[in-house]
Structure 1
């Protein structure tokens, strides 16, 4: 395709109109076969507006066999068939259409619609996959009740699952078996699911608050039954938490989870039948890290919570995607904070936001959490819609308070159950339920970009008055964009770290609602000039333009009673000192104030191990790059490496004591702290420490310790590197999820030969382009988490990614499109790298038969540059 070729059609929110007809009931019969699967659908259609008499049904890559209207078979003169759909005239205001199509799931490498994975049939219908199964009004505002009959070989596919409750099973005259599923709740087609195969099942039950017993089932490939305990426990915790926190009880008689190996997403909330990437179900201490266990708990909760925030109440159109995703991410974050360390969870959420969403907001792919247009909806499953969307809900929760937020949510569920709604209707429910005006707050939904906050302060010693002058600005939102409603949580610390203001309920934290472009806030009766603790708990997704003075940062890092801000102060101080190493001539070591504060952190016995470990970590290379006008790739890497070495050498005794103290503790916080100590110790490149890492690898009783030790070795040229990598592969070559870790360790290694290693791994027998997890573990990991080698001056890293995207474009466009983003950051780099990155994007755009998914991402990333 040439750059001059016309762009695919853009869809705009302003053009939304409800369909003239809707579908009220669907009867499906899906006859599974090794070669051709037959889909028979009976749709009850009803007029809902006077907007014309034509009925349009979406459909792609379908072999239409017949179409019947109210029992009359149509010939080709009575309907219009295109590559994207089927059009015919409605015979009445209410009628039934019966359609028979043929599809070939075994040839579906895009993993959208109905496809075959590891011998099993599976579906993925969000966002627009159902149209690849049968002709249908494939849009979220068409909500129908589904009955699904699955027919297939009972020997090959004894398990046949769909949405709702199982009502009937039996045998046909030809020997095939069938299961009949009935979902009593109306849903859009994107929530339809089907799974069939020879799967094992793990069962349990949950008793709801009203006394109903719910059957719980997790289906996995045979041999993985022993890796489901954590997922099942997480599910039961989620069900109980949603009852207690939001009053939401599960509504069907059965809840099912299926783990599949080939899946484009993390998981899918299909009504009653959640389909999961096996990464977020299967875990044992020997095969999964502590982070894996946390991820499973979070994703299980997320998909379960969708039952109410996404299924019972869904989106009117795809521009409202954050209505379900931002809200449900916030809910799963709340859940994880309640289950684990709230402080560590909040830090991890903000780290994820800053790593993925802040660059998105600052680049050519910036969009509001409610986008106004798109070419391919799959490209809008973004960090902005999810993570920033969750932060917007969190701000609403902060502004309203726990009690009023719950009142608003209760009204939302009561008012809109069974409906497809908009973000405006959600905010209106929060307003009405809490009796609070959120009209200005709605600007968060329609403004792109990360607000920037400038703060100056003044202290009058005579009166004891302290004044903050706060200015908000959002360059991405445009010159005439109205100011946002920003909740500012603030504390004031004295010289000894004590809170100088009582705050809400004696917490030492005040909530101030910023609503103007410039505001002044004063505190009175203070006996000393305070150190302000701003945006406690990261109360708004903003950037502070200027960091506090060095002495203030040290005070906050040592004393802040808000644990998020204590961590934040350490990160800011470390970032400043690392930037000095990079940019200031003659700066060849870390400043003493940071080294001293780090030592105080190591000595603080009051901190829980998990929090101490995450607070010890240095800012990542990508985050440091975000603070520079032109990213110095090599300078950042070298400075960070030098800082780790300096800390490891300065505090070798203290770090070794921490390592030994937590060596035999079987708790994730202890492992985190021990392995953080190992990171700094190994940074000294002391052979005895590398020997210690090898010993930890060989004797580890859990995957966390084994991976942590191997990650220390894989960046070196020590003989133990190759020895342990080979041993790891031989141990786990039959466990694909563990081998994904093996690929990622090498893809993210900073050693000099990393790009050569990664290129060779493309030819490894265990690598395949058809499995999204494997692509993410090697190609995506390299491009997103190995800045030193991805941004090699030779351009080889860009060429590596470009070749992969072009190849994947013809296999799985969704996955190909998601790999484009790192190239879209070209404006942040020096002229030579800019040229190479733009050339890579142009090469992608010149791909023959480029998909809409890849076209949209590459063309927007290239922009006008």
Structure 2
């Protein structure tokens, strides 16, 4: 970003925030890392808060780090500097260089004070201090703190913060910041006009973890008693009208705190823990020390407005942000290339928490489905990058499924290799060794080695090599010799900048079953495939064996096996690992659909039999059954093909859905009608029944049954909860019955004014399988309730449409033009959100020549747009490379 101000020169802050940067800052490389020249042991901040003009006074105690003559360099963006003082004396020899305030200093320690003014109400990027719903709040990860005041805004500069907030008492009666409250009162000489509050955080933290909130908020209070007997005051802060929707989040917080003590031995360390929900937020939530700020979507829930999926998501995100207190806050990242150190580890932790709250098998299925939907395509496309990237132009672009979801799979593989005791010993050592420091991914792996005695040298390739490994598996049986031979071969496809890959360490859980008896032929084995190819021999195998491989999805790989449809159907009925049973069904469905796309027709018999057997097995958890009988998504089918044909994939999948619906009509109606009804209960069993009921309804509709729309509309009207109501609406939205428009109108009118629920209304229509979805989405973009200013609303329509493979990839390119138009407009308001919605255009290499050319043209148009942000420029230009 160009220089935004010079001494005494007034600045239009809104222009500075929107200034283009992609042509002024080059790529940042991991190998260029150098320790900070100056450290900041203590930071004192004073905020005179105002939506139009907030004055920030920052006093930094700075210490020269080593022997050097470097001046103090402080990052800044979008603020007007008013004064600089060194050791209490105003100085004039400071200067602005790009995005840095440079202050020459001669001694080893100094007190440096700056005064700036910022405009929160003009901050549409939602980074730094900004206004949302009449309140003021912050988002500083990754580089938002520099939009608040001048500071060495990098994660390896850890400082203790003391913060004073001053604000209008009527407009901002609640003043919150990191740490523990110190004192509060009215401003001298103010008769109820302005007040102040002071907060102190005794734990050194990087600037990206700073937070403040000022506003008119109500609180749901609670307490938690730690293992050592300390009482922690808990608070969930929201609008007064939303207070009744916070009980689930508060309960999830208490469960998270207890779980982290029990499973990882981690106790909370402050006297208070506050959570604030805001409507305008780029992320799901933020783990600021002691003051988590959440997107309202992940806090507010009641049965009428939130689905079971929303309830689960809230519990998972609350847990995730709380777990960051240790895996992210007490130990933070040395630099942003180590982002997965905190995010991958914490996702793994929150996945474990969620698995313990309900069905572990269903949770694993959901996690893998998400990995395959988002991360596998990322690994196979132009934006592929390692879990520990090598360079970036804009760090916000690396908040990706690779960093989070694949990063979690790396931790899971380490835990699998080391075993429960070895992994716990490794995490204990990690927390003890690096508490209060900024660490690296290498530091984490080294702790695992030191605690367990295992050599993980080759495993480190997972951090440096991009791409999803493919494993070819072939099982041969020599009946006369009583021997089975499993041949494994791995290959990691080339990715941008990494054409050639070394063999990875792949922990594969394997088991054999008798093809005639269905019994297990021995115990499960953990095979560490660390060569390009390997052979495993099983003795004493007299019965024809069937291979169950990568059980529990023990490694994030693609298995290419020679298992027949009959063997996959057999495993879907007999495998004793729930995930492997689900996986066999999915592979059977996937093979059937791919064959249908390639050959123009397909034999559905094996799939119909497998689904029928699963529906008939009353011993199975309904939640598992619901997941197992769902067909792979159209996008996932496309991922299996060298060239994606959206229309052929849609035809093949709809044909299989219709066949399943018609041939198993009685079973679907039985599953639908037997689901218990009654008042809403949020429990694993109740969730499973609701899920299976909605899946059964979708198959009844797919069969073409004349009464399908009537059944769905009846459920829609009678539902006492959002899960059943949304399930019915989803089914109706995919069809053409008159009940569709009636349900959409009723839904909209019932929830008008509730932003989170109206997001569902937009999303449901954007994901519709109707032929005219593209036209409907274009109309919805002109709806009075649609706005690009709110990230949730933009994602609900634009993001959902981009995920609708058939609709988005209309042959005339209208979907591509629509997305490009929206992204160019959104980039002027919120570059970070715009960049995250671009990836569907980056898949142009996977489509036919006509579609490919149309996609490239839109990417080129985006890149050529004057004033494009660094965020969107990086994503679009990489997608074209």
Q: For residues 363-396 of structure 1, give each alpha carbon's deviation from its aligned partner in whole angstroms, at most 9, with x where no partner exists.
A: 1111000000000000000000000000000000
Aligned to 1:72: 89
Q: What is the SS of the residue equivalent to 2:467? A: coil
- 1:594 and 1:780 mapped to 2: Cα distance? 32
CA contact under 8 A between 1:59 and 1:83: conserved in structure 2?
A: no
TM-score, scaled relative to structure 1:
0.97
The corresponding residue for 1:274 is 292
- Range with greater deviation from structure 2 (437-446 or 306-315): 437-446
* 2:782 is the alignment partner of 1:769: no
8 A Cα contact 2:51 2:131, kept in partner? no
Q: After TM superposition, give the deviation of residue 651 of structure 1 in Å.
A: 1.1
1:476 deviation in Å?
2.0
CA contact (8 A) 1:376 1:853 kept: yes
Return the match for 1:59 from 51, 76, 79: 76
2: CA distance between counterparts of 1:438 and 1:584? 45
Pick the aligned partner of 2:671 from 641, 649, 658. Answer: 658
Q: Equivalent of 2:372, from 354, 360, 365?
A: 354
For 1:96 and 1:18, locate their aligned partners in 2 and report how far apart those are by CA, in whole Å.
21
Aligned residue among 532, 539, 543 for 1:528 = 543
Matches of 1:328 and 1:497, distance apart in 2? 42
- Matched residue SS, 1:442: helix
Matched, 1:34 2:47: no
1:782 and 2:801 equivalent? yes
SS where residue 382 of structure 2 aligns?
coil
Equivalent residue runs for 1:207-606 within 5 Å = 207-476=225-494, 478=498, 480-496=500-516, 498-503=518-523, 509-585=524-600, 587=601, 590-606=603-619
- 2:458 partner SS: coil
**Residue number in structure 1 paired with 2:718:** 699
2:4 match: none
Correspondence for 2:730: 711
Distance 2:650 2:25 in 1: 40
Alpha-carbon deviations, 1:631-683, whole Å to 9, x = none?
Answer: 11001111111111111111111111111100416511100011111010011
Partner Cα distance (1:64, 1:735) in 2 = 40
Q: For the residues of structure 2 that align with 1:458 and 1:792, how far apart are their CA atoms?
A: 45
- The 2-side partners of 1:754 and 1:485 are apart by 44
Tell me if structure 2 keeps the 8 A contact 1:20–1:52. Answer: no
Alignment deviations for residues 157-212 of structure 1 (CA, whole Å, 9 cap, x no partner) = 01110000001001112421011000000000000001000001100111111111
Residue-by-residue CA offset, 1:345-380 (whole Å, 9 max, x unaligned): 001000000000001001111100000000000000
CA distance in 2, matches of 1:7, 1:548: 54
Check conservation: 2:474, 2:561, Cα contact below 8 A.
no
Distance apart, 1:25 and its partner CA: 0.2
Once the two structures are TM-superposed, the CA of residue 551 in structure 1 deviates from its matched residue by 1.8
Q: Is residue 486–residue 515 contact of structure 1 (8 Å, CA) maintained in 2? A: yes
1:622 is aligned, of 628, 635, 647, to 635
1:506 is aligned to none
Residue number in structure 2 paired with 1:10:
27
CA distance in 2, matches of 1:89, 1:7: 24
Q: Give yes or no for the alignment of 1:833 onto 2:851.
A: yes
Give the distance between the partners of 2:860 and 2:68, measured in 1 at CA.
Answer: 43
Retained in 2: the 8 A contact 1:280–1:292? Answer: yes
Distance in 1 between residues matched to 2:521 and 2:736, nearest whole Å: 54
CA distance in 2, matches of 1:434, 1:775: 47
Partners of 1:783 and 1:822 within 8 A in 2: yes
SS of 2:241's equivalent in the other structure is coil
State yes or no: 1:142 paired with 2:157: yes
1:80, distance to aligned residue in structure 2 (A): 1.3
> Which of 804, 811, 816 is the equivalent residue of 1:793?
811
Which runs of 5 or more structure 1 residues have no equivalent in the other structure? 504-508
Verify the 8 A CA contact 1:490 1:510 in the aligned structure 2.
yes
- Residue 851 (structure 1) shift: 0.5
Paired position in structure 1 for 2:15: none
Query: For residues 266 and 547 of structure 1, what CA distance do their matches in structure 2 show?
Result: 41
Question: What per-residue deviation string (whole Å, max 9, x for no partner) do you get for residues 14-41 of structure 1?
Answer: 0000011110000000110132100000
Cα deviation, residue 83, structure 1? 4.2
**Corresponding residue SS for 1:475:** coil
Q: Taking structure 2 as the reference length, what is the TM-score of the superposition?
A: 0.95
Gaps of 5+ in 2: 1-17
CA distance in structure 2 between the partners assigned to 1:8 and 1:546 by the alignment: 47
Q: Deviations over 1:425-454 (max 9, x none)?
A: 110111111121111111100000011111
**1:43 to 1:6, Cα distance in 2 relative to 1, 3 A:** closer
Distance 1:683 1:108, change over 3 A: same
- CA distance in 2 between counterparts of 1:361 and 1:51 reads 42
Instruction: Answer with 792-801 or 453-462: which moved more.
Output: 453-462
Match of 1:186 in 2: 204
CA distance in 2: counterparts of 1:327 and 1:373, whole angstroms = 21
The question of whether the paired residues in 2 share the 8 Å contact of 1:13 and 1:372 is answered with yes
In 1, the alpha carbon distance for the partners of 2:704 and 2:66 equals: 72
Q: After the TM superposition, which residues 632-647 of structure 1 pair with which residues of structure 2 at under 5 Å, given as runs? A: 632-647=645-660
Shift of 1:686: 2.2
Partner of 2:62: 45
Asked if structure 2 preserves the Cα contact closer than 8 Å seen for 1:199 and 1:222, the reply is yes
Cα deviation code 1:260-302 (max 9, x no counterpart): 0000000000000000000000000010000000000100000
* Residue of structure 2 in register with 1:167 after alignment: 182
- Does the CA contact (< 8 Å) of 2:337 and 2:388 recur in 1? yes
Equivalent-residue separation in structure 2 for 1:242 and 1:707 (angstroms): 33
Aligned alpha-carbon RMSD (Å): 1.4
Kept in 2, the 8 Å contact 1:714–1:746? The answer is yes
Give the whole-Å Cα distance in 1 for the aligned partners of 2:606 and 2:521. 27
Query: Against the structure 1 CA distance between its residues 610 and 497, is the aligned structure 2 distance closer, same or farther, given a 3 Å change threshold?
Result: farther
- Cα shift at 1:53: 2.6
Q: 2:775 aligns with which of 756, 763, 767?
A: 756
Q: Is the 8 A contact 1:449 1:474 kept in 2?
A: yes
Correspondence 1:726 to 2:752: no
**How many angstroms apart in 2 are the aligned matches of 1:197 and 1:421?**
35
Aligned equivalents of 2:23 and 2:748: distance in 1? 47
SS in 2 for 1:24: strand
Query: Is the partner of 1:764 in helix, strand or coil?
Result: coil
SS of 2:345's equivalent?
Answer: helix
Superimposed CA distance per residue, residues 480-537 of structure 1 (whole angstroms, 9 cap, x where no aligned partner)? 533211101001011246443442xxxxx11111111111111111121211100100
